Amino acid sequence: MDFDVTDLNVRLRTIRIRELALAIFVAFVITLVLSLLFPVLENDGDLIVMPFLILLLLFFAWALRGTYGLKNNFSKILESDNRREIFYIFLINILFAFIFVAIISNLDIFINFVYPENMPAPDLLPEVMEPSSLLFDILSSIIIAPVLEELLFRGVLFNRLKIRIGIIPAMLLSSGIFAIGHEFGGIISAFVFGICMCIIYLKTDNILMTMSIHFLNNLVAVFIDASGLEQHLFQLPLAPIVLLLSILSGLLILLYIIDNFRSYRAG
């Protein structure tokens, strides 16, 4: 990283992958030591992750210290055109994220209609979220993840890869790595989401834009999970509607990505 650069957006682009890798390694070692010193951390699968995440946030705070531009970046996300794009990309991505469960649930409804004696698929039944798990989801998924993952995958990984292998390959590779960290059923939607975030970031050079979309996405996802709304979304009469909206959103995302990919190739 280049500490002579004082513009936040430019400084972010100077953070090298090897510097980030070293920070991840150091954070992992410190977290491991803390788990040995405080067994309560090791006994709680959620709690043990927090020191690691906080240490990575501290790395970025240190790497970006002394820069300016945060206020300007924030003011830009409030501009009408940017607000519309944030909401549009958030909406089509959150709806597309339902497609895997929507397909399974509609298939299950169809099978149950043909064979009434058939039992509902177990993985579609609602789960009760413990208060501690909800608190962890709020801290990690809604507050930390949008900031940390955007800095890591778009701010560093995508920025550095596009210099070495080109814009489109960098989008695909960084989004693929981003998707690996998600649940099996959400890997495809996370991959597509990652590509959209790369496009937004490339268009605006404003990491707060992607953080805003990521925040809204995770906020709604945690709310649906915690409230049990998923149980109603994927049952009659809403299940077919959700499936149609998911398919439509997937088509809109595909058009959005293709349109931007063409402009990158032309450029």
pLDDT at 148 over 80: yes
Prediction pTM value: 0.90
Taken as a whole, the chain contains a residue count of: 267
| Cis, peptide link before residue 237, omega less than 30° from 0 | yes
- Which band of pLDDT confidence, cut at 50, 70 and 90, is reported for residue 228? confident
Domain range summary for the chain, segments of one domain joined by +: 1-68, 73-266
Residues 183, 188: Cα–Cα separation, whole Å = 10
Please state, rounded to an integer, the average pLDDT across all residues of the chain: 90
pLDDT tens, residue by residue, 158-208: 999 999 999 999 999 999 999 998 876 689 999 999 999 999 999 999 999
Give the type of residue at 245: L
Please, are residues 85 and 216 in contact by the beta-carbon 8 Å criterion?
Answer: no
Residues 109, 117: Cα–Cα separation, whole Å = 12
pLDDT at 146 over 60: yes
Note the helical H segments in 150-237. 159-165, 167-180, 187-204, 207-227, 230-233
- What residues contact 59, with CB distance under 8 A and at least 6 apart? 20, 23, 27
pLDDT of 124: 47
Q: Poorest-confidence range of 24-28, 33-37, 65-69, 144-148?
A: 33-37
pLDDT of 96: 96
pLDDT of 111: 86
Residues 73, 10: Cα–Cα separation, whole Å = 12
